[in-house]
Structure 1
Amino acid sequence: MMEYINRLKIFLNEVKIEMKKVSWPTRKETMYTTSAVIISVFLISFFLGLVDLGLSKLIERLIK
Structure 2
Amino acid sequence: MTAKVMDWVRQARLFLLDVQAEFKRVTWLDRKQTAAQTVLALIFVFFVAIYLGIVDLALSRFITYFLKFGL
Amino acid in the other structure paired with 2:27: S
19, 23, 26: which is aligned to 1:15? 19
In the superposition, the TM-score normalised over structure 1's length comes to: 0.78
Identity %: 38
**TM score, norm. by length of structure 2:** 0.72
- Which runs of 5 or more structure 2 residues have no equivalent in the other structure? none
Root-mean-square deviation (CA, aligned residues, Å) is 1.7
> Compared with structure 1, are the counterparts of its residues 50 and 5 closer, same or farther at alpha carbon in structure 2 (3 Å cutoff)?
closer
Q: What secondary structure does 1:53 align onto?
A: helix
- Structure 1 alignment gaps of length 5 or more: none
Amino acid at match of 1:59: I
